[in-house]
Structure 1
Amino acid sequence: MFLGCTEELSSILKAIELLKTSIKDRSFDLTIFEEVMFFAEKEALYIALIDKSNLSVKADYAVAFSPDLQQQLLKSINCNKLNNINLLKSYTKARNPLSDIATYDMDNQDSRFATMVAFNNKRSNTSAPASYLIELILPYLHKAQLFRYESMRAFNSPIHLLTGREKEVLDWISSGKTNGEIGMILGISQYTVKNHVAKILEKLNAPNRSAAMALNNELNILV
């Protein structure tokens, strides 16, 4: 497939390295999305992270993408047509014959989230079409979107108000440990643990340990 396409292969490898860095640093943004999609048109790009449990879009980016087409795609997804990739493609191709849709983790039952990317397949007549090249970076795009969403939720969650020690205590609470057990694990007194728990509940506005655990588990659902 890549015979005579060393430039494209080199660019793909650079795109993957850039995405790996953005995953590690949780720095995926619109600029990075445009850069790693070098093989498609510089406009009419759209990426969405979709919660498969309720078919809602949790994070997305659009580059000169038609608002009407975006709404049409999202409406189709909300109507439980997410798995019908051909239907999604038909919506975009009706606007532009070179447009295309790619998805990742759609059929993975162990994953709560899927990624959808819409783009214009400008290299459809070469040995390295956009529709093929995107398959090489999709796993990294998906993970970059997941980590971006995780960071957004962490920033907006009251959990970010906790100190490092309080987060440790909350994690052990979520693991089902008692105050006494947490004290032994962390090398602190049970009384100190009790004080940490009180502060955790206050900062999270949680009525009890179970509510605090639910908040913590919800925040960490991606990992």
Structure 2
Amino acid sequence: MAKTSLVDEVIAAIRTMLSESWTVGSKLPSEQELSRQLGVGRSTVREALRVLEHLGLVESRSGLGTFVVEQRMPPPRIQYPQSPEALVQLYEFRRAIEIPSARLAAERRTAEQLANIKSAWQECELAVKRGSADEFARLDFLFHAAIVKAAQNSFFIETYLGLQDTFANNVTLILGQGQLKGMLHFHDKLIEAIERRDAKAAARAAEDNFKETDVRVQLLLQSSSDVDGSKKR
């Protein structure tokens, strides 16, 4: 079984435990104990816990362990776009949240939050090198979620996390309008700006990224239009 699939299965298993067995504030078993219970390696458990922490369900406390923050993800607020108009609206939504979040993250991020942002992007780059668009799309959500969390605005965080179930499907659609390798250094300038606490540069980098993404969105819309036109002939 591919490692990514195994990690996803462990994430699902732990989410079930969160909703059925553990309460908010309770301490999770150690990585070693979870590894034994789930029959997987500790590295797989560690990666699954990292994803769950990005999603705001658990929190790792140095020297103390990992604790439950939320038992369930909020229900998705945005459904998978069924039309070109809905896809455009989705990216309008992302732009409205991600650009100000980049600016605020540069101003407010902690050292730990910066490390989380960097780590999330490194995972995205590995997915690019493996040539896995689906994996990249899933991890790209965690990267952007890490930036939104670093913005430290609870309304932004709650709203953005509601996008989780829709995000990957739509990013995969957009990635199909170009070479995946083009994503390899896509967010380098954004991360560098957040690291040096340059709020204006961070917002500008986020805006620039959307300009490139807009090209792919337009290509997808054109492709959809061409297909519809062919059906009508």
TM range (shorter): under 0.3
Higher helix share: 2
Higher strand share: 1
TM-score norm. by structure 1 comes to 0.24
Find the structure with the greater CA-based Rg.
1
